[in-house]
Amino acid sequence: MPLEDWIAQLPKVELHLHLEGSMGPQTLIELGRRNRADPTELARWAADLERRNFRFGNFQAFVEAYKFVAGLLDSPADYALAGKRLVETLAAENVRYAEVTLSAGMVLWKKQSLEAAFEAAAQAAADAGAKLGVHVNWIFDAIRHFGVEPAREVLRMAARYRERGVVAFGIGGDERRGPADLFVDLYREARDRGLHTTAHAGETMGPESVRAAVELLGAERIGHGLRAAEDRAVLALVRDRGVPLEVCLSSNVATGAIAEASDHPLPAILREGVRVTLNSDDPGLFGTSLEREFRLAARTFDFSREQLAGFVENAIAAAFLAEREKSELRMGLESAA
Ligand SMILES: [Zn+2]
């Protein structure tokens, strides 16, 4: 079987995927039409993104684009559309399980009802998932540079929705303006409330940010973490603590963290024995998908099928799921790999 077909049929797991950033041009244009944004303007914006090959040049430009697309989500029906479309895409790519991040901090910042937004998205995703065989759980993300108080509200809501599939609390955004030490108490509280924890780190800042996320926050997984590779001691720390890195190749190129996928320190990270998962992050904004990320990784680093299946295995192990569900996913993977 050709490699591309093999990757396509592989039952996959995605752990780092934002609802807002998952929306492709078609969904954005549809939302724009609903919300009386200018569809021509939106189509031009999408075409421009494509012309630039989905590269934003720097993190700030990406944040602006993210705010723009998140701004198009206006009503609960919009969130429902985003949730449904996301699950349809996952199913088409043979993603059997996903932990989807909702930028809860952004919903609150927009002064929208987080209850209404989440319930609509979660219901639509669950309905589509039941039909298509995709299981989705949720991560509520606070925006670290907005500070502690809004993050506290995100945590409160995450805990409230544990029964509705919210499995973890995390932080994303500007690492410099929202340092980890601000969130130590919140992470402790998250654990006390039975939530798992993640943190974006080592994306816009160096290895010290990854160290802080692990040592101060006790984050169970690190989003990106690529700059941990600048300090072998930090790589050893994440390896020894068993903290997996959620690697997102196209994302790092798109936000300017690296110039090309081949510049990603993935081989060095793997050589140190760190567990890695492959993810698409904001596939709509980056013109990618999990399947494409697997193909890109295979092409760039010449990974074997065994290594590629290993990334899925790592994602199953790192998922915030009960052991019974993990073994079901493992069985599916074994029969396809
Ligand atoms: Zn992310």
User: Domain ranges in the chain?
Assistant: 3-336
Residues with CB under 5 A from ligand 1 (ion): 223, 281
Helix ranges (H only) for the chain are 3-9, 25-34, 39-51, 59-71, 76-92, 104-109, 114-132, 148-160, 184-192, 207-215, 232-240, 249-254, 266-271, 283-286, 290-301, 305-318, 323-336
1 CA from centroid of ligand 1 (Å):
33
> Residue 164 phi/psi, 5° resolution?
-100, 20
Show Cβ contacts of residue 281 under 8 Å, excluding neighbours closer than 6 positions: 16, 17, 18, 21, 248, 250, 251
131 by Cβ neighbours in 10 Å (0-12 / 13-18 / 19+) ranks as exposed
3-336 has which CATH code? 3.20.20.140
Q: Give the sign of the dihedral formed by CA 53, CA 56, CA 58, CA 62.
A: negative
215 is catalytic: no
Show Cβ contacts of residue 67 under 8 Å, excluding neighbours closer than 6 positions: 106
d(CA 55, CA 15): 23
153 by Cβ neighbours in 10 Å (0-12 / 13-18 / 19+) ranks as middle
* Tally of residues, the chain: 337
State the catalytic residue, choosing from 203, 220, 291, 293. Answer: 203
Q: Is the pTM of this model over 0.75?
A: yes
d(CA 144, CA 151): 7
317 CA from centroid of ligand 1 (Å):
20
Q: What pLDDT is recorded for position 75? A: 95
d(CA 268, CA 229): 7
Calculate helix-pair angle for 25-34, 76-92, nearest 10 degrees.
160
Which value, to the nearest 10 degrees, does the dihedral of the CA atoms of residues 122, 139, 272, 308 take? 0
pLDDT string in tens for the chain (337-residue length)? 999 999 999 999 999 999 999 999 889 988 988 887 787 888 888 888 888 888 999 999 999 999 999 999 999 999 999 999 999 999 999 999 999 999 999 999 999 999 999 999 999 999 999 999 999 999 999 999 999 999 999 999 999 999 999 999 999 999 999 999 999 999 999 999 999 999 999 999 999 999 999 999 999 999 999 999 999 999 999 999 999 999 999 999 999 999 999 999 999 999 999 999 999 999 999 999 999 999 999 999 999 999 999 999 999 999 999 999 999 999 999 999 8
314 CA from centroid of ligand 1 (Å):
18
104 CA from centroid of ligand 1 (Å):
13
